[in-house]
């Protein structure tokens, strides 16, 4: 009877051992899948980081262009105001000269 119990115990231990081996293989497969997914996620994040860096550089470039254009526009506006004032002054002088010469 001890042999029969020993055989049954051996069978149970072997089944438990096989079960643990199977579970270990499944965990290893899951671990490999997680590692691949994390690697893909890391690659995607790196790609996004590169894109963000490029966008930031483009934003700085655009900002510099806008600042240069704004300063040019400001200078042109100042020149326009100066020219308009100069034209008004010349018109007043022309009117004065016409009155002086009695043309108008």
Question: Residue 104: pLDDT band by 50, 70, 90 thresholds?
Answer: low
Average pLDDT on 72-90 reads 94
Residue listed under structure tokens 């600042």 = 67
Global confidence as pTM: 0.52
Length of the chain counted residue by residue? 104
Residue listed under structure tokens 């029969």 = 4
Average pLDDT on 38-55 reads 96
Average pLDDT on 79-90 reads 94
Average pLDDT on 63-67 reads 94
Q: pLDDT tens for residues 7-32?
A: 788 888 888 888 889 999 999 999 99
Of 58, 77, 56, 55, nearest in space to 66 by CA = 58
């Amino acid at each position: 009877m001890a042999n029969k119990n020993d055989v049954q115990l051996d069978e149970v231990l072997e089944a438990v051992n096989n079960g643990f081996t199977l579970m270990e293989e499944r965990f290893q497969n899951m671990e490999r899948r997680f590692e691949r997914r994390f690697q893909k996620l890391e690659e995607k994040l790196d790609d996004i980081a590169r894109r963000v860096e490029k966008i930031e550089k483009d934003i700085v470039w655009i900002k510099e262009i806008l600042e240069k254009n704004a300063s040019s526009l400001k200078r042109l506006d100042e020149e326009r105001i100066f020219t308009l004032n100069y034209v008004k002054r010349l018109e007043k002088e022309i009117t004065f000269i016409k009155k002086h010469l009695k043309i108008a």
